A = this chain, B = another copy of it.
Amino acid sequence: MPQDLAIVLLSGGMDSCVTAALAARQHELALLHVSYGQRTAERERRAFEQIADFYQITRRLVCSLDHLKAIGGSSLTDDTIPVADAALESPEIPASYVPFRNAHLLSIAVSWGEVIGARKIFIGAVEQDSSGYPDCRQAFYDAFQRAVELGTKPQTRLEIVTPLIRLRKSEIVRRGVELGAPFHLTWSCYRNSDVACGRCDSCVLRMRAFAQAGVKDPIPYVSDPGPGDGT
């Protein structure tokens, strides 16, 4: 029996990489990558292509949302707002929040999915063990699912799947290791595109996850002690 077609939103970070690894077990994949004028867009795009090559997926869609940069309001898309060091205990939504970003990503996935006949859309959102972005909550995906059912053709059947949403980041690392996910090809840093800064929210969440999982993170960090580099 042919496998159902599933779209995976693949940013190139560790969560979306593990999501692709999970989805690949049971589905034929189509991979979607969206740049939105964020600082590290080019680096993330490279991670996307390399992970897609790793899984030998040829069905790819790469989109660019220039208006999210024009709209700004986030340290990721507005160069005048600095990317802060991690403050994971703060109850505030961090300045790296890109307003309503995931609705844009899902909308693209839904439009594409409706045309190519996909049945599922996988997104690697993480709710609890994360930065607290509102558009990473299961309740948001439930509401969006309803909008998809009402806003597409009657014959369209597209289910939004969030396989990681309740996991701790360390559990995501362990699942990725079990599945052979290519963590060495992923990129998470919000600040840099050459060596990960090790201090932004995204780096700190990732480093903590690997440490708690007892797994060595294969990518280098600025803070790694290395020959001629002690910064």
Task: Name A's B-contacting residues (CB within 8 A).
Answer: 61, 63-68, 70-73, 93, 97-104, 106-108, 110-112, 114-115, 134-135, 137, 139-140, 143-144, 146-154
Contact = CB atoms under 8 A, between A and B. Distances in A.
Given A67-B108, A100-B114, A151 B147 contact: no
Contacts of A134: 150-154
Nearest to A149: B143
B99 A103 contact: no
Contact of A115 (B99, B102, B115, B151): B99
A45 to B, nearest CB: 14
Contacts of A144: 147, 151
B97 A101 contact: no
A68 B104 CA distance: 12
A108 B101 CA distance: 9
Contact of A151 (B68, B143, B146): B143
11 contacts: A61-B67, A63-B66, A71-B108, A72-B115, A99-B111, A100-B107, A101-B111, A103-B110, A103-B147, A134-B153, A143-B147
Nearest to A101: B111
A72 to B, nearest CB: 6
Contacts of A147: 103, 140, 143-144, 146-147
A98 B153 CA distance: 10
Contacts of A63: 66-67, 70
